[in-house]
Amino acid sequence: MQQELQIGADDVEPFVIDAVRTKMVYCKIDQTQRKVVVSHSTHRTFGKQQWQQLYDSLSAWKQNLATVKTSLQALSPTV
């Protein structure tokens, strides 16, 4: 990270902390191994690809909810 961002070793931790504060990245700092482990990041721009991803996720969610509804109706016809 230090090399990629071209910042000093002492500046890496404050940079990561600032990035986490913006909620653009979720990560953990492993100080013993001198690593930053990123678990999730958010795009700054929301383009066509991100809209497609959102559409796909919502479509899958909608389909799963329909399956759950059908299953519940099969268990209890009054639901």
CA-CA distance, 71 to 27, in Å (whole number)?
A: 38
Q: What is the mean pLDDT of residues 37-54?
A: 83
Q: Give the confidence band of 41 by pLDDT, cuts at 50, 70, 90.
A: confident
Reported pTM: 0.51
Q: What is the pLDDT of residue 78?
A: 66
CA-CA distance, 37 to 26, in Å (whole number)?
A: 9
| Secondary structure element (H or E) that encloses residue 13, with its range | helix 9-21
